[in-house]
Amino acid sequence: MSAGKKILWMLIGVALTLVLICGLCAPLVLLGSAFQSVSAPSPTVSGPAVALVRLEGVIISGEPPANPFMDASTAAYSGYIVKQLKWAEQEETVKAVVLRIDSPGGSVVASHEIHQQVAAMSKPVVVSMGELAASGGYYVAAPADVIFANPDTLTGSIGVIAQFLDLSDFLADYGITATTIKSGKFKDSGSAFRPMTEEEKATWQTIIDEAYEGFIKVVAEGRRLSVAEVKALADGRVYTGRQAKELKLVDELGNLPDAIRKAGELGGIPGEPEVIEYREPFDLLRQLLRAMPSSDPLTRIVSALRRAQSPILQYLYLAP
C-alpha cells in the first residue's frame, strides 16, 4: 500500500473515531442535563432535622459552571451556597442549620452575598470551622448564632487584598512591547504590561480601605464587639481556634458533631438530631470527566495569568 493511501485510511479512521465518541457522549450530555434540571432536593427525614451546608474552597461569585469540562468541586460558589441556605430556611422539617466552613476566603462580592443570607436566616445558624476559615471564610461566619472552631483551626485574616502582575521587565527581555490606546489615564490601571504609578496605587488603596472598613463593621456587628476592638486584631494575621476564642472571634472549641448537637439544641430538637445535606445534582458526564487527568501545567499557568489580568477585591488568606 502506498504512503498516500496509508495516510488516507488513517484520516478516515480518525474521523470515524470522532464520530463514535460524539455518538457515545451525546446520551451522557442529555442524561447530565436531565439531572441538572432538578431545582431543589426533597430530603426524606423521619422528624425535625439539622441541615448541613458545606462551604469548601475559594469563595467565587455565581453558580457552578454548566460546562462539564470545568471542575466545580474545588470552589464555593456563592449562588449555590445561598440556594442551599434558602432551601434549609423553607424546609419545614429543618429546625437549624450548620454551616461547615473550610475556606481561605475569596471574592468580596461573593462573600458578602453569602453573609447576607446567613444574617437573614430566621432559623438558628451554627458555624463549624474546619482546617481553615480565614478572611472571607470568617466574613460569612460572623453573623452566625454560634461559631465553633477546632483548637487548631486557622481563622481570622481580617483584611482585603488585590494583586497585580507586572510583567514589563520579563517581556522587555524578549523584545515584546504593548501599545495601549485608552480614554483616560486610569483606564489601564493594573495592567501587567507596565508598573503601576504612585497615583494608581493610592487610588487602589482607597478602594481597599473602603472594603476593609466594611469587613470591620461586619465583624463588630456579628460578634458584638466595638470597632476599636476589631481593628486591634484585624491586621490580616490568622489565629488558631484557641486564640480566636480568647479574642471572642469564635464562641466554642469543638468539631462538626459538636456544632450539630448545638444546632439541634438551638432548634429545639430533643436527643441526637437527624442531619440532611444538600448535594449537587448528579451529573454522569461531569463525574466521568472529573476522573480524567487535569489540564497540563502550562494551561493552568495561562489560566492564572488571565485571572490576574482581571483583578478583583478579595477577602482572601494567601497561605505561604
DSSP characters for 1-35? --HHHHHHHHHHHHHHHHHHHHHHHHHHHHHHHHH
pLDDT at 88: 95
Q: Which amino acid is at 223?
A: R
pLDDT at 31: 43
Catalytic residues, by residue number, are 135, 187
Radius of gyration of the chain measured on its C-alpha atoms: 24
Question: Which of 32, 96, 24, 22 has its CA nearest to residue 64?
Answer: 32
Question: Grid cell 466545580 — which residue?
Answer: 72
pLDDT at 318: 78
How many whole angstroms separate alpha carbon 257 and alpha carbon 228? Answer: 34
Residue 252 CA, distance from chain mean position: 24
The C-alpha cell of 228 is what?
476599636
How many whole angstroms separate alpha carbon 163 and alpha carbon 38? Answer: 38
* Topology (CATH level 3) of domain 44-160+228-316: 2-enoyl-CoA Hydratase; Chain A, domain 1 (3.90.226)
pLDDT at 171: 87
Contact 285, 25 (CB under 8 A): yes
pLDDT at 67: 54
List alpha helices for 224-275, DSSP H: 227-233, 241-246, 256-266
Contact 140, 55 (CB under 8 A): yes
Q: What is the DSSP letter of 294?
A: P
- In this prediction the pTM is 0.79
Question: Grid cell 521587565 — which residue?
Answer: 169
What is the full per-residue pLDDT of the chain (320 aa) written as tens digits? 555 555 556 656 656 665 555 555 445 444 444 333 334 565 566 789 999 999 999 999 998 876 544 445 578 999 999 999 999 999 999 999 999 999 999 999 999 999 999 999 999 999 999 999 999 999 999 999 999 999 999 999 999 999 888 888 988 889 988 899 999 999 989 888 899 999 999 999 999 999 999 999 999 999 999 999 999 999 999 999 999 999 999 999 999 999 999 999 999 999 889 999 987 555 555 555 545 554 555 555 555 555 545 567 888 887 66
* Residue 24: Cβ-neighbour burial (10 angstroms; 0-12, 13-18, 19+): exposed
How many whole angstroms separate alpha carbon 179 and alpha carbon 30? Answer: 46
pLDDT at 102: 96
Q: Which helix (H) or strand (E) holds 102?
A: strand 94-103
